[in-house]
């Protein structure tokens, strides 16, 4: 007989959102599956994510300061009951400190000791699986139907979208080794302008600020995370591997992501419409905090290849 579901419709459930915006986006289909199941989720997240979760249809969202301690976060939890944590951290510790009687989650390092009920998913050997599967398999164990199209639908905002407008996002919140060389971005931007494309440059980071100065013909925008409405106003986002393309994909903007050390099969934005440009080299994927070689995965990705991927995707 199959195991009885761990949750039932009507259960009130505190859920600690993943700390990173990319992981938050990848957890979204699983979170929606819980909503569709009839669970009453109460999202606990960093203050910087409150807009993302509220805009995405979660009515009860509690934000906490980025550097809040577990004790401070625990004081925000008005009601006990059941909790779910995807990863170790102050929020998961807060569930324990608040005395929540049922604390669910995967037996990950640093998290296992905080749980009262461990959700173990057995991974079969085989090809790389997209990270979204981690979240989906856990909620399936909880009793939700994960593989439903509505769980993956983009968030539709009341924002006019210009299908011909392209947003360039050269900065990555994962580190400079996730960024394509500035001179390549400059060459790409000028070629797109020469072809009559409407172009904007996200100038929130150092790379984007430098690029906007080098290409003054393009408009400049500032993206303050999660910047959902700004991202939704574009037809295409060409971006370094980072959190921004996942946020753009979440609001239905098509993305072309320039992968360097990351693995697209594991971490590409959700949706078949998105494009990937990559120079696969011997040392990638790489999970080092800093490139220990010569950054060949970025330096060997040519502008011509990015344009080829773009043109093939638009054909």
Identify which of 173, 234, 155 has the alpha carbon closest to the alpha carbon of residue 199: 234
Cα–Cα dist 275/314, whole Å: 10
State whether 259 and 177 are in the same domain. Answer: yes
Report pLDDT digits (tens) over 278-306.
988 877 788 777 877 778 888 899 999 99
Q: Is residue 3 in some structural domain?
A: no
Strands 219-221 and 117-118 turn out to be unpaired
Domain assignment of residue 2, yes or no: no
Total tally of structural domains belonging to the chain: 2
Q: Is 153 within the bounds of a domain? A: no
Report H helices in 128-220.
Answer: 132-142, 182-194, 206-214
| Residue pair 244/297 in contact by the 8 Å Cβ criterion | no
User: Which tens digits make up the pLDDT trace of 164-191?
Assistant: 999 999 999 999 999 999 999 999 999 9
Confidence band of 3 (pLDDT split at 50, 70, 90): low
pLDDT averaged over every residue in the chain:
94
Angle at 310 between CA 207 and CA 266, to 5 degrees: 75
Which residue, 116, 146, 176, sits at the end of a domain? 146
Question: What is the pLDDT, as a whole number, of residue 126?
Answer: 79
Q: Both 109 and 168 in a single domain?
A: no
| Edge-to-edge strand ranges of the sheet holding 198-202 | 219-221, 198-202, 162-169, 234-240, 254-259, 275-278
Out of 146, 181, 210, pick the residue that ends a domain: 146
Domain contains 32? yes
Q: What is the pLDDT of residue 1?
A: 41
Percent of the chain with pLDDT over 90: 85
Using the predicted structure, report yes or no on whether residue 34 has a pLDDT greater than 80.
yes
With cut-offs at 50, 70 and 90, classify the pLDDT of residue 4.
Answer: low
Bridge partners of 102?
82
Segment 150-177 mean pLDDT: 96
The residue range of the domain holding 26 is 12-146
Tell me what pLDDT residue 231 has. 98
Of the candidates 215, 88, 106, 233, the one whose C-alpha atom is nearest the C-alpha of residue 157 is 233
Residue 180: give its domain's CATH number: 3.40.50.2000
* Residue 246, domain member (yes or no): yes
pLDDT tens sequence across 256-284:
999 999 999 999 999 999 999 998 887 77
Asked if residue 225 and residue 132 are part of one domain, the reply reads no
Interatomic CA distance for residues 95 and 102, integer angstroms: 9
Q: What is the b/e burial string over 84-109, where b = at least 16 CB atoms within 10 angstroms of the residue's CB?
A: bbbbbbbbbbbbbbbebebbbbbeee
For the residues of 204-249, what is the DSSP string, one character each?
A: SSHHHHHHHHH-TTSEEE---TT-HHHHHTEEEEEEESSSHHHHHH
168 and 282 both lie in a single domain: yes
Q: Where are the alpha helices (DSSP H) in 59-218?
A: 70-74, 90-97, 132-142, 182-194, 206-214
Q: Looking at the domain assignment, is residue 279 inside a domain?
A: yes
- Same domain assignment for residues 224 and 301: yes
Give yes or no: residues 243 and 187 share one domain.
yes
Query: Do 172 and 178 meet the contact criterion of CB atoms below 8 Å apart?
Result: yes
Cα angle 166, 263, 172; round to 5: 45
Residue 157 lies in a domain: no
Indicate if 113 and 227 belong to the same structural domain: no
The rounded distance, in Å, linking the Cα atoms of 222 and 135 is 31
Cα gap 52→29, rounded to integer Å? 14
The position carrying tokens 């054909």 is: 315
Predicted confidence (pLDDT) per residue in 99-132, tens digit: 999 999 999 999 999 999 999 988 777 788 999 9
Interatomic CA distance for residues 228 and 249, integer angstroms: 10
Per-residue pLDDT band for 21 (boundaries 50, 70, 90) equals very high
Tell me which DSSP letter residue 154 carries.
P
Same domain, 168 and 307: yes
């Amino acid at each position: 007989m199959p195991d009885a579901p761990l949750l039932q419709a009507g259960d009130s459930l505190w859920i600690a959102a993943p700390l990173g915006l990319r992981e938050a986006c990848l957890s979204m289909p699983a979170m929606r599956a819980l909503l569709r199941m009839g669970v009453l989720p109460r999202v606990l997240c960093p203050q910087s994510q409150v807009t993302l979760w509220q805009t995405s249809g979660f009515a009860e969202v509690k934000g906490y300061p980025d550097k809040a301690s577990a004790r401070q976060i625990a004081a925000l939890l008005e009601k006990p009951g059941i909790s779910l944590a995807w990863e170790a951290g102050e929020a998961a510790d807060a569930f324990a400190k608040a005395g929540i009687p049922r604390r669910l989650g995967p037996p990950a390092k640093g998290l296992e000791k905080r749980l009262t009920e461990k959700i173990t998913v057995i991974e079969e050997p085989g090809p790389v699986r997209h990270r979204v599967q981690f979240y989906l398999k856990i909620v399936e164990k909880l009793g939700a139907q994960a593989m439903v199209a509505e769980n993956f639908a983009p968030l539709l905002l009341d924002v006019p979208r210009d299908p011909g407008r392209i947003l360039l996002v050269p900065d990555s919140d994962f580190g400079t080794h996730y960024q394509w060389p500035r001179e390549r971005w400059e060459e790409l931007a000028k070629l797109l302008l020469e072809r009559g494309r409407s172009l904007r440059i996200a100038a929130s980071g150092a790379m984007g600020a430098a690029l906007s100065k080098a290409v003054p013909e393009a408009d400049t925008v500032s993206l303050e995370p999660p910047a959902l409405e700004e991202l939704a106003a574009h037809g295409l986002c060409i971006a370094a591997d980072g959190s921004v393309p996942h946020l753009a994909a979440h609001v239905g903007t098509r993305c072309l992501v320039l992968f360097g050390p990351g693995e697209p099969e594991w971490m590409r934005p959700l949706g078949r419409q998105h494009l990937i440009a990559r120079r696969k080299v011997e040392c990638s994927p790489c999970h080092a905090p800093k490139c220990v070689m010569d950054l060949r995965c970025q330096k060997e990705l040519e502008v011509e290849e990015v344009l080829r991927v773009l043109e093939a995707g638009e054909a």
